[in-house]
Amino acid sequence: MKNMNGKEQNGAGLEKNIQTDFQKSMSYGDYLHLDQILSSQHRCSDHHDEMLFIIIHQTSELWMKLILHELKAATKCIRHNNLEPSFKMLSRVSRIQQQLIQSWNVLATLTPAEYMEFRDKLGQSSGFQSYQNRLIEFALGNKNVHTLSVYQHEADLYKQMQQALHEPSIYDEAITALVARGLSVDHDAISRDWSQKYEPNASVEEAWLTVYRDVEQYWDLYELAEKLVDIGHQQQLWRFNHMTTVERIIGNKIGTGGSSGVTYLKRALDQNFFPELWSLRTKL
């Protein structure tokens, strides 16, 4: 058909130069492999709401993959005393965490009665087994060698988890950055067994206090510290929303993977990140 100016016009309203032939070109779906992604939701029951349960967890794992991508790059920057590029990466991590936090609100639309209709179909699978979430915890400094036993059945994954366990966390690298700037930190804080959970150190707190008391001189370290606080805060909010959503849906039932469920998730809230960055606030 023709428009008022006598020119040919596509009835669907497409602009003239929009690509429509993808026989030899890569399309949006090709680039994103949507055929694989959108065909990966396999319900184990006929219940309508199991689709919600699957998609919430699959999308969360994709966001976690991006968090790990950003944390790895930010940690490398800090290790090479190139702090500024890490700030953008860490800001992005914080924004991704907000997406993960909000996802619990969507899952919370699943009622206890609805979940019970398909919960027994999940077998022993549980979010506790999410290796990406465990890698995030490791990257932030919450190391626990006992959690690796969950992954023993997959040799390659188990090796990857062991490697992550023995690598310095982003906070370990931040403490090393303090030393590189001439701030005094106990040798034990920067030369320790990285596979162990980080424990508070008075000299580290004092070094961070120096940074916070002279922001102008240590602006980049101060900015790094606040980016880490943002991430630690968001991770705690994610944990809290996880716990309350689980409590809302299953109460105090045992988790599908055998954990104590809500009780376990409540204990996890006591495991904070970057302790000196929180304790110094009382002493400023």
pLDDT at site 1: 47
* pLDDT tier, 10 (very low <50, low <70, confident <90, very high otherwise): low
The reply, when asked if residue 256 is annotated as ligand binding, is: yes
The reply, when asked if residue 119 is annotated as ligand binding, is: yes
Is the pLDDT score of 252 beyond 90? no
Domain boundaries 49-125+170-282, corresponding CATH code: 1.20.58.480
Instruction: Give the residue from 230, 219, 235 showing the smallest Cα distance to 277.
Output: 230
The reply, when asked if residue 267 is annotated as ligand binding, is: no
> Which of 37-46, 178-187, 235-244, 263-272 bottoms out in mean pLDDT, i.e. has the lowest?
263-272
* pLDDT tier, 260 (very low <50, low <70, confident <90, very high otherwise): confident
pTM: 0.92
Residue with the larger pLDDT of the pair 272 and 277: 277
The reply, when asked if residue 69 is annotated as ligand binding, is: no
The reply, when asked if residue 146 is annotated as ligand binding, is: no
Buried b (16+ CB within 10 A) or exposed e, 92-125: bbbebbeebbebbeebeebeeebbeebbeeeeee
The reply, when asked if residue 57 is annotated as ligand binding, is: yes
244 is written with which tokens? 């309350």
Residues 185-212: tens digit of each pLDDT = 999 999 999 999 999 999 999 999 999 9
Query: CA-CA distance, 150 to 131, in Å (whole number)?
Result: 9
* pLDDT tier, 3 (very low <50, low <70, confident <90, very high otherwise): low
- What one-letter code names the amino acid at 29? G
Residue with the larger pLDDT of the pair 99 and 1: 99
Query: CA-CA distance, 166 to 147, in Å (whole number)?
Result: 14
Residue 125 Cα to chain centre, angstroms: 20
Is the pLDDT score of 17 beyond 90? no
Domain chopping of the chain, boundaries: 49-125+170-282
Q: How would you class 33 by CB atoms within 10 Å of its CB: exposed for 0-12, middle for 13-18, buried for 19 or more? A: exposed
Rg (CA), the chain: 24
Average pLDDT over the chain, rounded to whole?
93
Residues 103-153: tens digit of each pLDDT = 999 999 999 999 999 999 999 888 889 999 999 999 999 999 999 999 999
39 is written with which tokens? 């065909």
Residue with the larger pLDDT of the pair 61 and 255: 61
Token pair 């045992």 is found at: 254
Residues 46-56: tens digit of each pLDDT = 999 999 999 99
Is the pLDDT score of 91 beyond 50? yes
Q: How far is CA 194 from CA 166, 169, 171, in A?
A: 5, 8, 11
The reply, when asked if residue 128 is annotated as ligand binding, is: no
